[in-house]
Structure 1
Amino acid sequence: MYEPQKQQGMHFTLIIALFAVSLLPACSASDELPRLKTEVLASHKLDNMLNETSGLVCTAQTAVTTNDSGNDAVLFEVNDSGDIVRQHALDFANKDFEAVTADDDYFYIGDVGNNKGHRPYVSIRKVDRKTFQKVKTLRLTYTDNSPKTNIPYAHDYDAESLVNRTDHLILFSKSWASQQARVYRIEKDAKDQTLTAIGTVKGLPGVVTGADWDAANHRYVLVGYKSSAIGLFKPFIATVSPDWHVQGMAMLEGFGQVEGICVRNASEVLITQESSPLNTARIARLAIE
């Protein structure tokens, strides 16, 4: 729930994060990427209960999102206008929810936030779509991760982007330090997994905060941002090939801390942004080519 005192503390932490990111080198390769054509078809303020929305997955009639750390463990169904149409309480705690995806039978909730780098492992909860009960916890450990020596907001063992790919999941890292998103394959039923990157995405103009698979166009669609020490976000959207090459990229002018994306159909996506000092939480429908 929204708590002003909690928000002040989060904003202080955010300023630290923004300062750290502002020290990172710019990705000049992004200037050479093919231009992705986008158009904002609609944009609406999200309900205040979703000021800290993080993660998004499209369903048949709605989209599903959740809030990140410090909030109740709840899945929210929202319509394209940003209204909450249903809430589903979950039977486990929210340490740092940052992503949600789904297949026909299950939601996969990524409790994978690790900005400070101190978590020795993160997890994904497999949740029945009919009962909203947890059926399995996938415990994930990164190869070569060193929680005791990681520098907050300056390491590569953080993530916010989880994608369903038929018989497995794909996790994109936030990669504060290298600015090259690492790609991990996650098995849907293995309880304990040690993750080694199967690829990297190079040349993006910031960290990746949301992703989905565009089956019609056989590509991933990613969102993220580069941020500054004074609280300014420069969000982007990009398309990435199955072998992790950036195909096209566009800056999302008029948006802020973009946190989630889901593919609605062959030519449209939904995106969400979290509330920040300069922006309200919003959901938007975009056309992309």
Structure 2
Amino acid sequence: MSIRPEIRRYSQQMGKLLLIVGSGLLSACSIAASDFSLERVSEVTLSRELNEISGLWCEEDSLFAINDSGNSATLYQLNLRGQIEQRFTIASPNRDWEAVTARGKEIIIGDIGNNRGKFDTIHLYAVNRDTQTQTIKPEKQSYQYADFQSAKPYQHDYDAEALTYHPDVGLIMFSKSWQSYTTHVYHLEADQTSAAVAPLAQIDGLHWLVTGADWDAVRQRFVLVGYHPSLIGELNAKLAIVSEAYQVEATFSLPSGQIEGVCVLENGDILVAQEQRKRQPAKLMRFQLNQPVENRNNIVQLVDKP
């Protein structure tokens, strides 16, 4: 979803918070990131059809992507160069699609966005990823926030844009958390229909808006992306490595932009999707995460500094 003027209020709140916790964050991030380096190895401009790309999921030879609210209910299949190869019309409304992942043979679309705090319910749409049909009627699951309260736009935690699948846990949703700056973790059980859900864990130490997530099954860790709006309206893009126990292991600053999706290939390469914003086109970037740090070119900033 395009960023609106209300985000300046969030930026001012974050500025105050960082004055308080800045010194502690610097110490923690310096230790965590010291064993990692992140290198951008490629970048391509996406089709204008994906200007508002909001979710990304990948397998070894293809990607799946969606746009957010205000766009058609379309699931896109791309190649690894970011070129559109197929389009599937999903016979369900795009209220605010913000995430896409997979569970077995199913592609799961997360209609979970709620920047303005109007919705107390999230919806998941499941489609068979081997389908040959161009128009698909998905299976729908709905979940209600157990502790939902009426909220003002951009001043609440009932918003999410990150969804992934863990084989031992099931679907996991990470909150965007405009109000508390703490990432809440929700486990969405497959057999729960129209169930009330509450956070089962939280991730401390990020202090930015999480907009994408993926479970790296090979290396047994989560990769999260998002951004921190600056006081002048710029979006400082972020990437974090998070353990299976939801502990931050490393954080990185990415090139400035509205980062909206992430997925990890089997070889460990990380694909990051960026929505169009101002003069920046929608992009697909590819990064390599290396450990330990070596002398390399094109290294993205290693340690976040408040």
Q: Same fold (TM over 0.5)?
A: yes
The one-letter code matched in structure 2 to 1:153 is Y
Q: How many residues align?
A: 276
- Whichever residue aligns with residue 98 of structure 1, its letter is E
Note if contact 2:68-2:98 (Cα within 8 Å) is conserved in structure 1.
Answer: yes
- For residue 120 of structure 1, report the CA deviation from its aligned partner: 2.0
What 5-or-longer segments of structure 1 have no aligned partner? 1-9
Superposition TM-score, scaled by structure 2 size: 0.85
Mapped to 1, the partners of 2:185 and 2:215 lie a distance apart of 14
Deviates more, 1:129-138 or 1:204-213: 129-138
Alignment of structure 1 residues 91-170 onto 2, 5 Å:
91-131=91-131, 133-147=136-150, 150-166=151-167, 168-170=170-172
Using the alignment, how far apart are the partners of 1:61 and 1:134 within structure 2? 25
Structure 1 position 266, deviation (Å): 4.0
Report the aligned-residue RMSD: 1.7
Task: Report how far residue 59 of structure 1 moved.
Answer: 2.2
- Structure 2 gap segments, 5+ residues each: 291-306
Q: Structure 1 residue 88: deviation in Å?
A: 0.8
Contact 1:162 1:212 in 2 (8 A): yes
The equivalent position to 2:188 in structure 1, one of 170, 186, 189, is: 186
Output one character per residue of 1:174-211: Cα deviation in whole Å (capped at 9) or x when no partner: 01111110000001232212111111011114110000
- In the TM superposition, what are the counterparts of 1:274-289 in structure 2 within 5 Å? 274-289=275-290
Change (3 A) 1:130 1:93: same
Structure 1 counterpart of 2:294: none
- CA distance in 2 between counterparts of 1:220 and 1:142 reads 23
Q: Which runs of structure 1 show a deviation greater than 6 angstroms over 4 or more consecutive aligned residues?
A: none
Residues 135/84 of structure 1: CA separation in 2 closer, same or farther (3 Å cut): closer
Are the aligned partners of 1:80 and 1:283 in contact in 2 as well (CA < 8 Å)?
no
Whole-angstrom CA distance in 2 between matches of 1:197 and 1:222: 17
Q: Match of 2:235?
A: 233
- The whole-number CA distance in structure 2 between the counterparts of 1:217 and 1:270 is 16
Q: Distance in 1 between matches of 2:138 and 2:63?
A: 22
* TM-score, scaled relative to structure 1: 0.90
Matches within 5 A, 1:41-80: 41-80=41-80
1:27-42 equivalences under 5 Å are 28=22, 29-31=24-26, 32-33=28-29, 34-35=32-33, 36-42=36-42
CA-CA distance at 1:103 after TM superposition: 2.4
Q: 1:17 aligns with which of 7, 13, 17?
A: 7
SS at match of 1:23: helix
Do the aligned residues in 2 keep the contact of 1:45 with 1:81 (CA within 8 Å)? no
Q: Secondary structure at the match of 1:22?
A: helix
Preserved contact between residue 114 and residue 158 of structure 1 (Cα < 8 Å) = yes
Tell me how far apart the structure 1 counterparts of residues 232 and 12 of structure 2 sit (CA, whole Å). Answer: 9
Alpha-carbon deviation of 1:135? 4.2
Q: Which piece of structure 1 moves more, 169-178 or 23-32?
A: 23-32
User: How far apart, in 1, do the equivalents of 2:8 and 2:281 lie?
Assistant: 18
Q: What's the CA shift for 1:265?
A: 2.1
CA distance in 2 between partners of 1:204 and 1:154 (Å): 18
What is the identity percentage for the equivalent residue pairs of Structure 1 and Structure 2? Answer: 35
Alpha-carbon distance in 2 for matches of 1:267, 1:60 = 11
Greater shift after overlay, 172-181 or 76-85? 76-85
Task: Give the match's secondary structure for 2:88.
Answer: strand
Which amino acid counterpart does residue 146 of structure 2 have in structure 1?
Answer: T
Contact kept, 8 Å, 1:205 with 1:225, in 2: the verdict is no
SS at 1:243 equivalent: coil
Letter in 1 for 2:99: A
Partner of 1:258: 259
* Per-residue deviation, residues 141-164 of structure 1 (Å, max 9, x unmatched): 1121113xx121111110000001
Secondary structure of 2:6's aligned partner: helix
**Which letter maps to 1:14?**
R
CA distance in 1, matches of 2:272, 2:39: 12
Q: Aligned equivalents of 1:139 and 1:71: distance in 2? A: 21
